[in-house]
Amino acid sequence: MQERNMLNWNKVRPTWDEYFMLQAEIAKLRSNCLTRQIGAVIVRDNRQIATGYNGTPPGILNCIDGGCKRCQERMNGKLNSGVNLERCLCTHAEAMQLCNVHYLVMVQALRVQPCIVHLHLV
């Protein structure tokens, strides 16, 4: 995306992809996971259907507050990346979106490929 120039909007207007990636960046700010912060946006026909971010499910103590023991062990250096993922309570961003809507077409995740398991849900 080009530098914002208030005098020439046409040159700074983001593409759809840039626009939705920025939406995902905003959603990422709400992540409550200690180990990794991910945001995602579901888009259909250039309309934003839902956003999501990763973290512990509703009703569970936030990961940043100690809700996920696996993430704590990971942050304390007791686990390597990718180990014991099945013990992680943190829901992936794509799955969190599914809690909000049930009709989906496309996922745009930031910096990471959508998780294969959750891509099947989409």
Task: Please list the active-site residues.
Answer: 94
Q: In the set 27, 33, 43, 79, which binds Zn ion (CB under 5 A)?
A: 33
Shortest distance, position 70 Cβ to Zn ion, whole Å: 4
Under the binding rule (CB under 5 A), the answer on residue 88 touching Zn ion is yes
Shortest distance, position 116 Cβ to Zn ion, whole Å: 18
Nearest to 92 by CA among 38, 21, 41: 38
Q: How many CB atoms lie within 10 A of CB 115?
A: 18
Q: Count CA atoms within 13 Å of residue 35 on its CB side.
A: 26
Under the binding rule (CB under 5 A), the answer on residue 63 touching Zn ion is yes
Under the binding rule (CB under 5 A), the answer on residue 95 touching Zn ion is no
Q: How many CB atoms lie within 10 A of CB 111?
A: 12
Give CA separation, 37 vs 15, 34, 46, in Å: 24, 8, 24
Sole window of 3-11, 16-24, 41-49, 90-98 interacting with Zn ion (rule: CB under 5 A):
90-98
Q: Which is nearer to Zn ion, 20 or 94 (CB)?
A: 94
